[in-house]
Structure 1
């Protein structure tokens, strides 16, 4: 029984080392990239302030989406896993949907309704593809 416990402990240790070995990015690089993403977002957001109306809303949705996707991608590179890759795809689908929804606001009536339905369908398809690959 003691041999079995030792073997199980060694197997568990080897798996935990495998998880550590997957970490391909040093922490200081991770922190630097996280700061860079925030600075880029701040610049993009400031650029949006010069716009007005729906153009500003679209710009802000694009800036926020770009930031969220970059952060999810950074997390996936810092702690690689299938779940992290899946999360990147989901975040991208959600960001694309928010931008598309803002673009639909420029439309009116039935055209707007169709635009929103197409945006929602594209989001659902992207999430389904991500789930299928997960």
Structure 2
């Protein structure tokens, strides 16, 4: 996470946006949930699951944007995958026999794939970040080594410039 991102997440404006997004998600959920009351049976169950999934999506996105960390974005993707699974599972409940079994297996497969993608993306981002850091350190060492050929004030200026350039 970049330092500027951390300050943006901690600002009062960001906190207000976060609260507003969560409040809007809750209001939309209540409205959608009220519309579900007109239904009965499985269509009502699906409607409720869809309303909950929409709320989870909105709240997870708001939380991820507010916290602005890799962990928060990964958690949001996982929460959304679970909510989507609940919707898919509710739809499967209307089926019977083998069709229901296949539907549930497909829903589980979709959830497993989404969770695996979220974990894999997190690992890729972490690996790229670590590689960037390793490269920066190596480049700093090269620049510092070049400064060793100098002496006195030019060497101090060279070292200072290298530290500034590579964030030391």
Q: Give TM-score, length-normalised by structure 2.
A: 0.66
Native 8 Å contact 1:44 1:63 kept in 2: yes
- Return structure 1 stretches of 4+ with deviation > 3 angstroms: 17-20
Q: CA deviation at 1:36?
A: 1.0
In structure 1, distance between residues paired with 2:77 and 2:14: 23
The answer to whether structure 1 residue 121 and structure 2 residue 109 are counterparts is: yes
In structure 2, distance between residues paired with 1:71 and 1:38: 8
Native 8 Å contact 1:22 1:79 kept in 2: no
The answer to whether structure 1 residue 27 and structure 2 residue 15 are counterparts is: yes
CA RMSD of aligned residues (A): 1.9
Native 8 Å contact 2:92 2:103 kept in 1: yes
Native 8 Å contact 2:29 2:51 kept in 1: yes
Native 8 Å contact 2:8 2:14 kept in 1: no
The answer to whether structure 1 residue 105 and structure 2 residue 93 are counterparts is: yes
Corresponding residue number in structure 2 for 1:50: 38
Q: CA deviation at 1:29?
A: 2.0
Q: CA deviation at 1:110?
A: 1.1
Q: Which has the greater radius of gyration?
A: 2
Question: Which has the bigger relative contact order, CA under 8 A and spacing at least 6?
Answer: 1
Q: CA deviation at 1:22?
A: 4.6
Structure 1, unaligned runs of 5 or more? 1-14
Structure 2, unaligned runs of 5 or more? 123-168
Native 8 Å contact 2:63 2:72 kept in 1: yes
Q: CA deviation at 1:61?
A: 0.3
In structure 2, distance between residues paired with 1:82 and 1:107: 38
Q: Give TM-score, length-normalised by structure 1.
A: 0.82
Secondary structure at the residue paired with 1:101?
helix
